[in-house]
Amino acid sequence: MEEKDISLRIREAVERHASTAKALSDDLGAHPEISAQEFESSKKIAAILEKAGYKIEFPYCGMETAFRAVLDRGSGPSVALMVEYDALPVVGHGCGHNLHGSLSVLSALALTDLGDLVTGKLYIVGTPNEEVDGGKIIMAKKGVFDGLALAAMMHSTSRGLCQADMDALSLRSYTMEFFGRSAHAVASPWAGHSALAAARKFLDLIDARRECFTPDIHVNAAITDGGKAVNVIPEHAEIRVEFRTASMAALASVDDMIMKCAKGAALALDCEVKWTQNYDDFADMVRIKTLEDEVEGLFTSRGAKMETISPPIGSTDVGNVSYRCPTVQPLIAITGEDLALHTREFAAATKAPAAFEAMKRGAEILAALALKVFRDGEFRNKIQQDFKESLEKKTKI
């Protein structure tokens, strides 16, 4: 079958299921559920996929609001489309998960109509808790994405410009606790050891290292406990610190620096320090040029305006997936306005007609990409080769 015929079949299939996806997006937008509490959202999505013929595992991977659906078409490669659906406190779906989560569902529904072109297994993975701890991190650690030929999803953006992929930084977070000895701050301060002074010195030491940071290193911190009374030398102080780098290998190097600063500060102030990791690491993105080139071509052939992939300015749990299998997360513009993510304005934009049209276009692209992976062995091999090379580079600082 020629590519133009496949494209036409994809477009027709997307149109047949578009109203279902729009209703889902609007429903999720009207009833936002925050991270790890997406009980109704996950049930609604799983029910739609089950009705379409997918076999459902729900709950999944030890998470009450996660699921996995599979369309089994025999031997062949395995492809996963990821679905996000958690909202933010106060602003609701200000990150657009209702829209681009429904976009993945729309692709899944369209691909059921194209089952004769699917030669292998198509997984639709419901990934909750992206905004907090990262559900995909747990799944990646448990091997959910191991051995897949492709894992993909899209993420909403604005300004009318799309990107073929989303770059990301690795991220680690600690709570650092300093322990000293309390004393009266005026009558006998010499009897105390200030945990707050140690915490402040910890931050000073990090700042002293900043002039030697590579451009990708970012360290941010907040004092979450600096004492309870001004007339008492604090015996306890607490700092929440997070740091980001361009690779997991570089993250380990910065971790060593953070620990030296913490131990040095505690030693200098006659205090002790202990640390607790707040959540599992978010990994940076292992980018696959072959995938990005294909995605860009699929966008431009459908009239989308593109821009160069932005340098990484944040983190995403999709990065953890990208260390396990070839992964891509294009950015799809759902509005021509320049709107910031995580705002009420962006949440409102997900309900506009332009967002619905973007959803349909994005669903076509995801479906077309999945079918190319299923049908084109040479393409799969090139993706795997690029994946191996990119992953090897990431292991070097």
Of 225, 249, 277, which marks where a domain is finished?
Answer: 277
- What pLDDT does residue 396 have? 79
Cβ neighbours around 366 below 10 Å, total: 29
Give the mean pLDDT of 254-277.
98
Residues 36 and 100 in one domain: yes
Asked whether the predicted pLDDT for residue 2 surpasses 90, the reply is: no
Bridge partners, 277 (sequence order): 174
Residues 197 and 327 in one domain: no
Of 254, 277, 300, which marks where a domain is finished?
Answer: 277
Do residues 180 and 235 touch, judged by C-beta distance below 8 A?
yes
Asked, as a colleague might, if the bond just before 215 is cis with ω within 30 of 0, I would say no
Cβ neighbours around 104 below 10 Å, total: 28
Asked whether the predicted pLDDT for residue 23 surpasses 70, the reply is: yes
Asked whether the predicted pLDDT for residue 276 surpasses 70, the reply is: yes
- What pLDDT does residue 4 have? 81
| d(C-alpha 234, C-alpha 270), whole Å | 13
| d(C-alpha 140, C-alpha 7), whole Å | 32
Residue with tokens 């999505």: 45
What is the secondary structure of 29-56 as a DSSP string? HHS--BTT--HHHHHHHHHHHHHTT-EE
The string of pLDDT tens digits covering residues 323-359 is 999 999 999 999 999 999 999 999 999 999 999 999 9
For the chain, how long is the longest CA-to-CA vector?
Answer: 88
- What pLDDT does residue 99 have? 98
Relative to beta strand 121-126, strand 78-83 is parallel
Residue 59 three-state SS:
coil
CATH number at residue 353: 3.40.630.10
The string of pLDDT tens digits covering residues 277-301 is 999 999 999 999 999 999 999 999 9
The string of pLDDT tens digits covering residues 180-212 is 999 999 999 999 999 999 999 999 999 999 999
Residues 124 and 220 in one domain: no
Residues 132 and 61 in one domain: yes
- What pLDDT does residue 397 have? 64
112 exposure class (CB count in 10 Å sphere: 0-12, 13-18, 19+) = middle
The string of pLDDT tens digits covering residues 54-86 is 999 999 999 999 999 999 999 999 999 999 999
Give the mean pLDDT of 252-271.
98
Residues 111 and 38 in one domain: yes
Residues 238 and 176 in one domain: yes
Helices and strands in the chain, H and E counts:
11, 12
Domain containing 373: what range? 3-167+284-394
- What pLDDT does residue 386 have? 98
CATH number at residue 179: 3.30.70.360
How much helix, strand and coil, in percent to the nearest 5, is found in the chain? Answer: 45, 20, 35
Residues 301 and 261 in one domain: no
Q: Which residues of 32-44 are buried (b: 16+ CB within 10 A; e: fewer)?
A: bbebbbbeebbeb
The string of pLDDT tens digits covering residues 107-118 is 999 999 998 999
Residues 160 and 307 in one domain: yes
Give the mean pLDDT of 166-175.
98
Residues 126 and 238 in one domain: no
| d(C-alpha 128, C-alpha 194), whole Å | 42
Phi, psi at residue 306, to the nearest 5°? -115, 160
Asked whether the predicted pLDDT for residue 97 surpasses 70, the reply is: yes
Bridge partners, 174 (sequence order): 241, 277
Residues 123 and 29 in one domain: yes
The count of domains in the chain is 2
Residues 8 and 117 in one domain: yes
Q: Please give the angle made by the CA atoms of 79, 84 and 87, to the nearest 5 degrees.
A: 175
Of 277, 300, 315, which marks where a domain is finished?
Answer: 277
Residues 31 and 109 in one domain: yes
Residue 157 three-state SS:
strand
pTM more than 0.85? yes
Bridge partners, 173 (sequence order): 242
